[in-house]
Structure 1
């Protein structure tokens, strides 16, 4: 990691101090601490407003301490520029777009076959750190991990110890015995020596925990919240990659679901979200009080209507299904999982169209395969308008995180997470999947991590 001043010269590493130290030297136990934010003005860019599906021309955007503090007509901030020595970036001809938000990732997941040996903890941590950098480099300034990441990972990116997106975490996924999060072999299911609640596959471990009955569900939800979870994820249906359950099966009873949801709400969590493909599993989850359905590939219009009425969000994940059915993930899954993926994929487009028509709030989700994370835009744009798809990854996603008005928008008071693009994503959202051509800068928390824009130096280098 390198830090640079406005002239682009790297600062002296904070891990070295001359002896005797300067009289004003203060010992810092966190040598990765970044210097204070530099005031910044982005001038001349066309402001992308996903919420209203339009752009606004001729505005200057003032940024201080990692926040957008003022948006005003061009040249109206000239006095401020002189008084505060702000860095002024001429972004004429570019579009300033809110940073992208992926609401369904697994940052601890790695690709691997059943024969692969599990990676060491160090290898997994290094892979995770690199994956976070890739996500941020591609424009994802915020992600919600729904299976494994904990408060330590959130702290790592929050403090810039590991450069990466803002992280919202839930810890391990809650699953019933034999559910989507129980990855024991059928032959080991009755053994007391099986690796209970753990899944080892290409570097993936400790991403799920088993809880049965109301009392266990209460206890587990309390533990997850005490460990710093922003949300809690449960499994209320079978899944594509779980080896033995049926994808249409319902999992967890309504009383178990309700116990988790009420606990998370009482302890200040954003919401309880549910891995769910089946309609019955979704209806049980809704009755139990969940706030969001993940995947939701086979939901009926009646269920979607209920979600709309109750304000329950939906986060589809088309790319991981398509990558299994039609793409390079095929060799990594079993024949059974391949068949389940085909079943879910055949319904997902219809379900999403219905959800848009009914008015369900839809977020952007990918299940996170790093090289395909942006391809979800292409899949959704094949049957939905670009301005609708852009909302999924910006203002809609912010609602799911409980960060409406703070993330997913370019507004006064919002956090300074944004992209500079050479084309308008409202007209064609597919340009986001061409970062080599159209992504000119990435700024998170008011700090530039990627830039080819004149006058906008990179403050934190990712690679």
Structure 2
């Protein structure tokens, strides 16, 4: 698999507009470097590298707003003991697989650093565009504190490939956020509640004090970035939103107040429903510790109801998968799960235009339009008719183009 020579034109393309739910008559998409320069019929210049879509649907590349590219195993506590070179090689493999599934942009929610982002940008290996935040911030005993109850020593070196870093007190949170932002991080992630993969916290716990959360929000805002918050319960979600968190990850147990705050704050919800189904079925096989397996049911069955509630009130919802280890090949199955309560257009928006707005790249990602990155999927069928078809990317996707370069 490689990103081949650049494409200058895509001809006979029926361009999909997700926002208007329309498909054009066969036309030409002209590409200049990494970006689309024109959409419309015109003569193809001699000697240009042209790709004939043969009347197929041409859609914007997909965006997954919650991945973990370093999570080569579901046992996140072991990541810090691995060689960063080994995990970097694993990340290259995992990211290449994401690109082949049509995800031309991904947002890492804990672990990835500037090096991986730069490597993807420079096309050192086939990979989506990577928006990174560095290490997620966790309190002692929080969702990114991977020590078991009998372990007291903690490695706090920023260079080790842990998914997060433990910091207590507003000053420590502020410094950790600044360290991530210093490297060019696109966002700061904090743990607002307990979670499944951590060994010692409860899913229904709240984490960090108000002052600590405010410190992270202030630092991100000062750098013109934003905070995403891991949270399950309404109590933790609402508290984070009230204190300025812009993106809520998971949110399986939200309530009416959560919806009201999401709308008032113009914030985003990033459900990750497929990961709970796969953790239930495959978690033990792929290294999820027994203590974490016992917590899956706390969130598994509520997620679809939360998605339905948010959809009914027009909350901004972005696509996320959050899969770990050997479960990552199921990334595209999130489409079928969401289609149980959302229309095909609503699901597609979550993986294109809404996700692009979340990443603060509206008009550059998630659309096929002049000025946007030439991240394109050549599809065998119209996903507006049945978005679940994208759950089988091998059959749904004919070709992938990222930044004007064809993936082979």
**Interval containing the TM-score (normalised by the shorter chain):** over 0.9
Q: Is 1:418 aligned to 2:376, yes or no?
A: yes
Partner of 2:88: 125
Could you tell me how far 1:335 is from its partner in structure 2?
A: 4.3
Segments of structure 2 that go 5 or more residues without pairing to the other structure are none
Q: Is 1:255 aligned to 2:211, yes or no?
A: yes
Deviation string 1:241-297 (CA, Å, 9 cap, x unpaired) is 11121101111122211111111111122x110011111111111121111000111
Q: Tell me the SS of whatever aligns to 1:427.
A: coil
Q: Is 1:41 aligned to 2:9, yes or no?
A: yes
Segments of structure 1 that go 5 or more residues without pairing to the other structure are 6-36, 451-463
Partner of 1:245: 201
Q: Tell me the SS of whatever aligns to 2:294.
A: helix
CA distance in 2, matches of 1:354, 1:292: 17
Partner of 2:344: 386
Q: Is 1:65 aligned to 2:33, yes or no?
A: yes
Partner of 2:191: 235
CA distance in 1, matches of 2:73, 2:245: 30
The structure 2 residue matched to 1:164, chosen from 127, 135, 139, is 127
Partner of 1:195: 155
CA distance in 1, matches of 2:76, 2:181: 32
CA distance in 1, matches of 2:277, 2:65: 18
CA distance in 1, matches of 2:246, 2:137: 15
The verdict on how the C-alpha distance between 1:394 and 1:115 changes in structure 2, with shifts beyond 3 A counting, is closer
Could you tell me how far 1:85 is from its partner in structure 2?
A: 3.4
The structure 1 residue matched to 2:59, chosen from 97, 109, 117, is 97
- Assess if the C-alpha contact under 8 Å between 2:76 and 2:197 holds in 1: no
- Assess if the C-alpha contact under 8 Å between 2:11 and 2:28 holds in 1: yes
Could you tell me how far 1:4 is from its partner in structure 2?
A: 5.8
4+ residue runs over 4 A deviation = 1-5, 112-118, 196-199
CA distance in 1, matches of 2:177, 2:88: 25
Q: Give the structure, 1 or 2, with the largest relative contact order (CA under 8 Å, sep 6 or more).
A: 2
The structure 2 residue matched to 1:88, chosen from 22, 42, 50, is 50
CA distance in 2, matches of 1:279, 1:227: 33
Could you tell me how far 1:312 is from its partner in structure 2?
A: 0.6
Q: Tell me the SS of whatever aligns to 1:306.
A: helix
Matched positions, count: 403
- Assess if the C-alpha contact under 8 Å between 1:255 and 1:288 holds in 2: no
CA distance in 2, matches of 1:140, 1:114: 23
CA distance in 1, matches of 2:77, 2:179: 33
Q: Is 1:295 aligned to 2:220, yes or no?
A: no
Could you tell me how far 1:60 is from its partner in structure 2?
A: 1.7
Q: Tell me the SS of whatever aligns to 1:44.
A: strand
The verdict on how the C-alpha distance between 1:194 and 1:88 changes in structure 2, with shifts beyond 3 A counting, is closer
Partner of 1:174: 137
Could you tell me how far 1:305 is from its partner in structure 2?
A: 1.5
Could you tell me how far 1:194 is from its partner in structure 2?
A: 3.5
Could you tell me how far 1:230 is from its partner in structure 2?
A: 0.7
CA distance in 1, matches of 2:54, 2:89: 38
Partner of 1:305: 260
Could you tell me how far 1:300 is from its partner in structure 2?
A: 0.5
Could you tell me how far 1:347 is from its partner in structure 2?
A: 1.0
Residues 380-389 or 155-164, more deviating: 380-389
TM-score where L is the length of structure 1: 0.83
The verdict on how the C-alpha distance between 1:251 and 1:115 changes in structure 2, with shifts beyond 3 A counting, is closer
Partner of 2:175: 219
Partner of 2:355: 397
CA distance in 2, matches of 1:385, 1:330: 33
- Assess if the C-alpha contact under 8 Å between 1:102 and 1:140 holds in 2: yes
Partner of 1:360: 315
Could you tell me how far 1:2 is from its partner in structure 2?
A: 6.5
The verdict on how the C-alpha distance between 1:3 and 1:68 changes in structure 2, with shifts beyond 3 A counting, is closer
CA distance in 2, matches of 1:422, 1:46: 11
Deviation string 1:343-365 (CA, Å, 9 cap, x unpaired) is 21121111100111111111110
Deviation string 1:215-252 (CA, Å, 9 cap, x unpaired) is 11111111111122110000000101111211011111
TM-score where L is the length of structure 2: 0.93
The verdict on how the C-alpha distance between 1:337 and 1:4 changes in structure 2, with shifts beyond 3 A counting, is closer
Could you tell me how far 1:340 is from its partner in structure 2?
A: 2.1
CA distance in 1, matches of 2:48, 2:322: 40
- Assess if the C-alpha contact under 8 Å between 2:64 and 2:319 holds in 1: yes
- Assess if the C-alpha contact under 8 Å between 1:176 and 1:212 holds in 2: yes
The structure 2 residue matched to 1:439, chosen from 383, 393, 397, is 397
CA distance in 1, matches of 2:69, 2:294: 26
